[in-house]
Amino acid sequence: MKLFEDKISSAASRVRIALALKGLDVERETIGILGADAINRTPEYLQVNPQGLVPALLTDEGVLLTQSLAIIEYLDERYPEPPLLPGRLEDRAFARAVALAIAADIHPLLPPRVTAHLSAIGVGSADVADWSRHWIRVGLTAVEELLGRRQTGKYSVGDIPTVADICLFPQAVNAERNNLALGQWPRIASVVARLREIPAFIDNGPVPRT
Ligand SMILES: N[C@@H](CCC(=O)N[C@@H](CS)C(=O)NCC(=O)O)C(=O)O
C-alpha cells in the first residue's frame, strides 16, 4: 500500500493513526498542500485524487481510495485487529457520529483551500484566524456535549480507541495550535490526554504549518 499525504494534514493524520494502530507500515509520498510546495492540484495528483486532497491510499491491488473515513473503514474491514469501531451496534453509530461531527462538520471549514479563498476575497489574516477559531469552538463544544451522552470509558466510546478518537485527536491538536485551550472541554481534554499516552496517536498527529 502507498499513502499520499502531507504531514500537516489532519485528514491524513487520521489515516496515519489508523495504520499505526493496525501495525501496518506502508510506502508514503508527500503531496505538498501549501503555498509554493503545493502539488495537490497538479494534473498528476488529480489522477490520484480528482478532489486534489490528501489523503489517498493506493491498495496492494492497485486501487486508489480517497476520503479518510472511507480509507479507515477499508483498513478496518481488511485488517480487523484491533478493531477501530466498537462492538455494540449503537456504539458503532455513536463513534461514526462523533467522527462525522469532526470530519464532515468542523474540518471542511478550515483547510488551506478555504482559508486561501477567504484571503483572496479580501478577508484579513486576523479575521481568517478568527474564522478558524470560531468554527473549531462551535464544533468542539457540540462534540463535548455529544461525548457527555455516552462516554463511559477511557476514550470517546468505551475503552478502546475508535474512529471517533482518530478524528478527535488531530482536531484537538489543531485547536491548541489555534490557541484554544482544551480545558474548556473537560471530556475532550481527558480523552486527548489518554490518547497522548498511545504512540500511534502522538507519533502521527498533524505537524505544525511552517
Ligand atoms: N473529507 C476529506 C478531506 C480532505 C482534506 O480536506 N484534506 C486537506 C488536508 S487536511 C487537503 O488536502 N487540503 C488541500 C487544500 O485545502 O487545498 C477527507 O477526510 O479525506
Going residue by residue through the chain (210 aa), what tens digit of pLDDT does each one get? 999 999 999 999 999 999 999 999 999 999 999 988 899 999 999 999 999 999 999 999 999 999 999 999 999 999 999 999 999 999 999 999 999 999 999 999 999 999 999 999 999 999 999 999 999 999 999 999 999 998 789 999 999 999 999 999 999 999 999 999 999 999 999 999 999 999 999 999 999 987
Q: What is the fold of 2-78?
A: Glutaredoxin (3.40.30)
Residues of the chain with CATH 3.40.30.10: 2-78
Ligand 1 centre distance from Cα of residue 53 (Å): 5
**What pLDDT shows up at residue 59?**
98
Q: What whole-number distance in Å separates Cα of residue 156 and Cα of residue 162? A: 8
Ligand 1 binding residues, C-beta < 6 A: 9-11, 33, 40, 53-55, 67-69, 103, 111-113
* Cell (9 digits) for 40: 495537490
**What pLDDT shows up at residue 37?**
81
**What pLDDT shows up at residue 152?**
83
Ligand 1 atom closest to 71 (CA): 20
Residues of the chain with CATH 1.20.1050.10: 89-202
Q: What whole-number distance in Å separates Cα of residue 31 and Cα of residue 51? A: 13
**What pLDDT shows up at residue 35?**
86
Strands of 56-58's sheet in order across: 27-30, 2-5, 56-58, 64-66
Which stretches of the chain are assigned E, i.e. beta strand? 2-5, 27-30, 56-58, 64-66
Q: Is residue 53 within 8 Å of 10, Cβ to Cβ? A: no
Q: What is the fold of 89-202?
A: Glutathione S-transferase Yfyf (Class Pi); Chain A, domain 2 (1.20.1050)
Q: Is residue 56 within 8 Å of 4, Cβ to Cβ? A: yes
